Every structure is written in C-alpha cells, then in structure tokens.
Amino acid sequence: MKIIDLSLPIDDSAFEVHDLRIDRTSHKDGVEKLNKVLMSHSPESQARYQKGERIIKKEDLPDEEFLSLEMVYSSVHSGTHLDYSFHYGSTSEGRASKTADQIPLEWCYHDGCKITLTHKRADETISAEDLEEALKKINYRIKPFDIVLLYTASDRLFGKPEYFSEYPGLDTSSIDYLLDRNIKIFGIDTMGIDRPYKFMMKDFQQKKDPKCLWPVHFHGRKKEFIHIERLTNLGVLPDHGFKVVCFPVRIKKTGAAWSRVVALI
C-alpha cells in the first residue's frame, strides 16, 4: 500500500491572510521556562525566582536540556482542514448548524475519485456541467459516500499572496450535483470554495447584488455539506481506485478543524 500526503502544513513562514504564529521554546530555554512555571504559584516563590533561585538547574537534566514546547496561534482555516455547516451560518436546513467536532467519522474514510479541472481560470467558476464533463472523460460514475477531490493545481501557489487570489471557485450547481449523488465530503486544492475575494467584490460593486458575495459558502445554510480546503498533491493521484482518509482534529465548537488528509493506494 502506498500513502500519499494530501495535506498542506500550518507554516508560519508562508504568506497567510489570518495571523499565524508559532512560539517555539528550545530544549535549552525549556529549563528556564520550567522553573518559571514551577515558581509562579505564589508571590513568595515568584520573588525567589526573581532573585535567581532555581528549583531545577540545567545540570540536573540530561545534556542540560529540558523538553521542547511549541505554542501554535492559528485560525482553524490555516493548513488543510474540513469545514462544516457552522462555518457557513448559525443554521443549516432549518436546524442549528453542526460544528466540526460533530463530523461523522464514518464519512471520513471512503473511496476517492479525482476530478481534473486544471483548465479552469482563476476568474471562472466550476459548474455541475464541468463536473459531468470531467467524469465522462475518465469514464467514472461517482458513488454515494465517495470523497470527491477537485484538482485545479492551485496548490502550486501555496506560500505566496497569489494563493489567495488566483484560483477558480465553485458554483452552487456543483454543490447540488455532488449532494444529489449522496456525497458527504468533497475537497479541493484551493484556499476556498468561492471565487477569490477580488472577483466577488468587483461583481458586487458593479451589479450591487448581494448574491455575488460568498454564494457557495452561504449555500451551506440551505443544504448541509462538508468540504476540505487546501489540499495538495492531487496531481499524483489516479482518477479513482484509492481510499481517502480525512479525520478531523477534535476541537470543540468550531466551524472547521485541521486534518492530515491522505490517500491510500
């Protein structure tokens, strides 16, 4: 069996629109931080710490090192992640929207198929007709619970500002096409499922039509769906004949959750 990683990292060196910071405490600095924590529980111990007293000295530890520690401050929409209906609005299908920790795990391990849409431009949308045509080319009929992966090759821009502005979006008809075939989870290798902000805003300002703004995300208020954003490496996958694993990290009451998405061939 071959495992292909389909996940982008949470990378504090890459360009992001949301604040992303990783505070790293080294093994050497960890000794000092350990003492600071141990001596922070009372004014008396804090005063002793300030005077230079230490409970554990570096010489007490192997190689004069403690344990590393990293604190990640990030949106749940950084890195590869699954979005559920709470991200789209407070209600979906007339009921309270569901959060990412409520994603049924049995939906997260199924047969996968890849739909190639690399011909679509950044200012275009992907419609139901586009999906139908692409599936005919690979002679594949999607099955209920397939995890459908939409391949645009936009992941090549990850780390650059263009990653957030140069990719095709979806049309609501493509969402309906997948839902009508009992697809529970689909994914894409772009940072979002709507057209980039600059295109939506241009249309909104010209047409003065609120329907131009995030129509696909807001469609999740009418019809419940789960999607994966920020996939990568879809180009190395076959069109079908593989499994997808996309279990979400269990974070309480969020609209999205990180996932290490992989394909099993």
Distance of CA 37 to the CA centre of its chain: 33
| Secondary structure class of 24 (helix, strand, coil) | strand
What's residue 92's pLDDT? 98
For 190-204, how does the pLDDT look when each residue is reduced to its tens digit (9 = 90+)?
Answer: 999 999 999 999 999
As beta bridge partners, residue 72 has 22
What's residue 61's pLDDT? 94
Which residues have a Cβ under 8 Å from the Cβ of 8 and sit 6 or more positions away?
79, 80, 155, 158, 230, 231, 232
What's residue 230's pLDDT? 98
In the chain the domains, ranked by start, together with CATH numbers, are 3-15+76-264 (3.50.30.50), 21-73 (no CATH)
Nearest-angstrom CA–CA distance, 103 and 107: 8
Which residues have a Cβ under 8 Å from the Cβ of 219 and sit 6 or more positions away?
88, 172, 175
Nearest-angstrom CA–CA distance, 216 and 171: 6
Number of separate helices (H) and strands (E) present in the chain: 7, 15
Which residues have a Cβ under 8 Å from the Cβ of 238 and sit 6 or more positions away?
114, 265
pLDDT band of residue 60 (cuts 50, 70, 90) is very high
As beta bridge partners, residue 155 has none
> For the chain, what is the mean pLDDT?
96
List the structure tokens of 170: 């979806």
| Measured CA distances, 115 to 132, 133, 230, 234, 237 (Å) | 9, 10, 16, 9, 10
What's residue 76's pLDDT? 97
Are 13 and 56 contacting, i.e. CB atoms less than 8 angstroms apart? no
For 110-161, how does the pLDDT look when each residue is reduced to its tens digit (9 = 90+)?
Answer: 999 999 999 999 989 999 999 999 999 999 999 999 999 999 999 999 999 9
pLDDT band of residue 91 (cuts 50, 70, 90) is very high
pLDDT band of residue 63 (cuts 50, 70, 90) is very high
Average pLDDT over residues 60-85: 96
What's residue 96's pLDDT? 98
What's residue 108's pLDDT? 98
Nearest-angstrom CA–CA distance, 173 and 13: 36
What's residue 8's pLDDT? 98
For 20-53, how does the pLDDT look when each residue is reduced to its tens digit (9 = 90+)?
Answer: 999 999 999 999 999 999 999 999 999 999 999 9
Full-model pTM: 0.94
| Secondary structure class of 43 (helix, strand, coil) | helix
Average pLDDT over residues 176-184: 98
Written as one string, the DSSP assignment of 169-183 is EE-HHHHHHHHHTT-
What's residue 265's pLDDT? 96
